[in-house]
Structure 1
């Protein structure tokens, strides 16, 4: 759980309307829509060694304010877990994606590149992302979305941990999965985050579903 939550807190993940089919607007949409009042509610699950759910909770991210820095308007996204409110960070959409700024730290840095190409490598301040799918139909408790899928690899003492993040342009982050590859090549999930409810501009999810599906697979793709 710490790996996923720390990643979200440190880095953070449409011209769309309600529809019965998957949501996925044109490539012109922002990969993370930034407007005060936007929010995303997720279901977080931690898995045990047998693949069962050992822990779950609700996770909320909300755009709570904006400010102007060096003539550019940035938006604050707050992480909220139960009674805990996370660190304030600022984000801005530019022509090549979303940039992030943490008060008191280094200048703006690339957070999520967009638009992207299949298999594109994106070098960030602390890691490298690979675009493993430029448009993938993705299911969440909030519905179906067409997503850009990014993957990073974090090397720990126990081996590599794969983190796969799904973004629907114009909606934002809809799913995150982390896990490892077992000795026999099997995918072993660590934890995941799946969108259950959201408000983006004037668009709100109409229904909220309980997520009871088995562990998903964000395992690494073949190069």
Structure 2
């Protein structure tokens, strides 16, 4: 059994070593003030002027400067190689929600591994924030207010069906599958979009400009 090393009653910003910008990290920290770095994300945090509350990972990407700059009590070394640093963090953080920055838009294999982990942990509320997109696993009905014409992309990582209201191309009656039908580049045709899936496995991608609307729809209140 894995026990949490970080337990907070508010959100956690989880910073990876992939693509991120100062604005993205600042935006996430405004919403989720506890900062946890996944391995090499520690140096990115320091470069942006943020001291991580914890660093979790196998430390194969950890910069020696970060080891020196961060006090030893904040490091949580997990040497096993059966999971990614993202999942090592995910299983050791106890928080109502996580905002993941630096996990989208870099190496494709790393990004796919993160998305796989998100779907395999449907009990966790995780929002990924990238340069162009924000992503969430649809584990419960979602009602979100979006400007008409907003891109709404659905990508399945398992076979799943569902229903929608407010999309240009309704999804009812479609069987989605990772090796079959996807739902990329749909769009909002009304100011409110309602999506309900019949099971786990569907990822929702929205433009990064829709982050605030997504957080509100997920019941994550602004601090």
- TM-score when scaled to structure 2? 0.28
Decide which structure has greater strand share.
1
**RCO greater where, 1 or 2, for CA within 8 Å and sep 6 or more?**
1
- TM-score when scaled to structure 1? 0.28
